Amino acid sequence: MTLLLLKLTLSPLFICGVTLAARRWGMGIGGWLASMPVNGGPILLFFALEQGEAFAAEAAAFTLVSIMGVAAFSLVYAWMARRFHWGWCLAWAWTAFFGSMYLLRAWHLLLLPMLSSAVGSLLVARFLLPALRRDHDHPAATRWDLPLRLLTAVALVLALTYLADMLGPRWSGLLTAFPIASTVVAGFAHARQGGDAVIVFYRGMLAGMPGFCLFCTVLATTLVPMGTFVAFLLALIAQLSAHAFGLLLTRRNRSN
């Protein structure tokens, strides 16, 4: 019962925070915050609590592979966003994600090469994003906008954790980084603000996701020897440190 309550509350709270931040500070900041372990972190925590720490550690390692699928998802959605309805964009972006996972399902390298490949795919995807043509609009949100986002997030998390429980650590890890936050936030932003808002969102998200790669790497190496609490604490510290370093570099580049 406790785990079900966590599944019903953790991800919606994160989605709510990302949505409100995007409204207050723009889609770029929203994307940056979405690169935090918004859904992947809770899902890996549920794996550790329900399936054991060894299962969660192996799933965390394969989550690095699924991040390459997130890069493909983001790139496909961003390039389609200006020309097609958000529903078609999501359909093709999901196809890119699951197609990547099918092709990479048997891929098993050492942890550091997997980390390098995941980070490299994010950097390449961000470099290949389409250029912005204009400033996007910020229409007022409707009453049902935020509640519908939260309900969508809950449905996706419940579906993925239910399916992952039957698939084992490899496919569980491959599905952990399924782009729940970007599906919800970018999909709604696309419907209300247009394609440029999506591009700004993915620029921020892809720039911040190397920190999530580090989060998964720390979990993969520390869960079994150190336990769930210490491993997740160290992983969060690593993630936040990476984000702080990235923000520092961004500010320095802007000041030069």
CB 40 within 8 A of CB 212: yes
| Domain around 21 | 2-255
- Residue 175: predicted pLDDT: 79
What six digits make up the tokens of 232?
A: 């997740």
Q: 3-state class of 106 per DSSP? A: coil
- Residue 146: predicted pLDDT: 65
- What percent of the chain stands above pLDDT 90? 30
What six digits make up the tokens of 35?
A: 């690169």
Amino acid letter, 219: L
Other C-beta atoms lying within 10 Å of the C-beta of residue 87: 11
CA–CA dist 8, 25 (Å, integer)? 27
Please identify which residue in the block is written with the tokens 């769930």: 228
What six digits make up the tokens of 133?
A: 């043509």
Residues 6+ apart with CB under 8 A from 85: none
- Residue 165: predicted pLDDT: 66
CA–CA dist 53, 21 (Å, integer)? 33
Mean pLDDT calculated for residue range 111-121: 91
Mean pLDDT calculated for residue range 232-240: 92
CB 91 within 8 A of CB 212: no
pLDDT above 60: residue 256: no
pLDDT above 70: residue 224: yes
Q: How confident is the model at residue 172 (pLDDT cuts 50, 70, 90)?
A: confident
Tell me the backbone φ, ψ of residue 19, rounded to 5 degrees: -65, -45
Mean pLDDT calculated for residue range 164-182: 75
Domain count, the chain: 1
- Residue 139: predicted pLDDT: 45
CB 10 within 8 A of CB 42: yes
pLDDT above 60: residue 11: yes
Residues 6+ apart with CB under 8 A from 69: 96, 97, 98, 100, 101, 104, 174, 177
pLDDT above 50: residue 75: yes
Mean pLDDT calculated for residue range 82-102: 91
**Mean pLDDT lowest among 18-22, 37-41, 190-194:** 18-22
Average pLDDT for the chain: 81
For residue 137, give the H/E element and its range. none
Residues 6+ apart with CB under 8 A from 119: 210, 213
**Mean pLDDT lowest among 4-8, 60-64, 129-133, 200-204:** 4-8
Q: How confident is the model at residue 91 (pLDDT cuts 50, 70, 90)?
A: very high
pLDDT above 60: residue 55: yes
CA–CA dist 158, 147 (Å, integer)? 17
Mean pLDDT calculated for residue range 85-99: 92
